[in-house]
Amino acid sequence: MWAELREDARGIIARDPAARSVLEVMLLYPSFHAVLLHRLAHALWIRDWRFLGRAVSQTARWLTGIEIHPGARIGRRFFVDHGMGVVIGETAEIGDDVTLYHGVTLGGILPSVNSGAQIGVKRHPTLEDGVIVGSGAQVLGAIHVGRAARIGANSVVTRDVDPGATMVGIPAKAVRRAVREATTFCAYGVREMSDPNAPPAGVPSAEAMARRIEELEQHLLALEARLADAEGRPGAVAREPVDVA
Ligand SMILES: CC(C)(COP(=O)(O)OP(=O)(O)OC[C@H]1O[C@@H](n2cnc3c(N)ncnc32)[C@H](O)[C@@H]1OP(=O)(O)O)[C@@H](O)C(=O)NCCC(=O)NCCS
């Protein structure tokens, strides 16, 4: 139990650039409190203590602004950044290392659209491992959001999402670019930052160019020496190699 709590707190520190310590997260992060209370609510719910489960879930909602139905299934290191205004429905399923920002709904759709929207029937989304859902996004219906997919802020998603895809807009459409394969977290769902000092793709680094120049210079000196030999005159003097480190 304690190990699980520490894992939750460490997961938050790893994903929130503003989080400083396990203690700070445990005392001051609504996501941490909501997940803790959800574990209790879910344990009551699956043992058929439904009213008590709902009571714990409502208490968590008052305290944190995060409403998680006690029936929802949530994986490890789940993080709701900022909390407030998040709604997670009864049949939602969430994998490991999933991040939601404030104002996200993992909700059902109207019965007129989804004729199977009755008690006990799957009617909320499934989010696979490493999914990031931006603030205000609505993910609606019994859809599948693939591993490491990203949902843009304020998007509305009503169809399955491919693993690694980035979805934006209403209705959400995939941004055209290579899909992400890993579930490495990037804060706010933005692309992994590259080294600003690195040369553009396909251009060799300054060190590689200096090494190549050195090799060519040595080659030129060797050729000059052979030419001088053939002509019977003194050859060029090789200079000291330059330290490019
Ligand atoms: C969707 C998101 C993950 C994409 O990040 P990215 O991979 O760096 O993508 P880019 O910023 O290059 O945007 C790609 C395209 O999508 C558009 N776009 C990005 N986010 C969008 C959004 N939320 N809604 C609509 N269009 C969006 C961009 O304008 C761009 O369009 P273009 O190709 O026509 O220029 C990111 O923009 C996002 O919304 N992250 C969530 C942030 C959040 O919730 N922050 C709250 C912190 S408190």
Both 121 and 236 in a single domain? no
Which domain does 208 fall in, by range? Answer: 196-245
pTM: 0.77
Examine the fold and report which residue of 160, 189, 218 is the final residue of a domain before the chain moves on.
189
Both 135 and 73 in a single domain? yes
Both 164 and 239 in a single domain? no
pLDDT tens sequence across 108-154:
987 655 555 566 789 999 999 999 999 999 999 999 999 999 999 99
Cα(18) to centroid(ligand 1), Å: 21
Both 174 and 217 in a single domain? no
Both 132 and 166 in a single domain? yes
Both 140 and 218 in a single domain? no
pLDDT tens sequence across 200-214:
667 777 888 888 999
Give the number of domains in the chain. Answer: 2
Measured distance CA(108)–CA(143) in Å, rounded = 10
Q: Probe ligand 1: pick from 82, 190, 192, max atoms within 8 Å of CB?
A: 190
Both 36 and 63 in a single domain? yes
Look at the block and give the residue holding tokens 């909501």: 34
Both 135 and 119 in a single domain? yes
Both 126 and 240 in a single domain? no
Examine the fold and report which residue of 142, 168, 189 is the final residue of a domain before the chain moves on.
189
Cα(56) to centroid(ligand 1), Å: 36
Q: Is 241 in the pocket of ligand 1 (CB under 6 A)?
A: no
- Residues annotated as catalytic are 102
Contact 30, 64 (CB under 8 A): yes
Helices (H), the chain: 2-15, 22-28, 30-46, 50-64, 206-231
Q: Hey, how many other C-beta atoms are within 10 angstroms of the C-beta on 43?
A: 14
Q: What is the DSSP letter of 158?
A: -
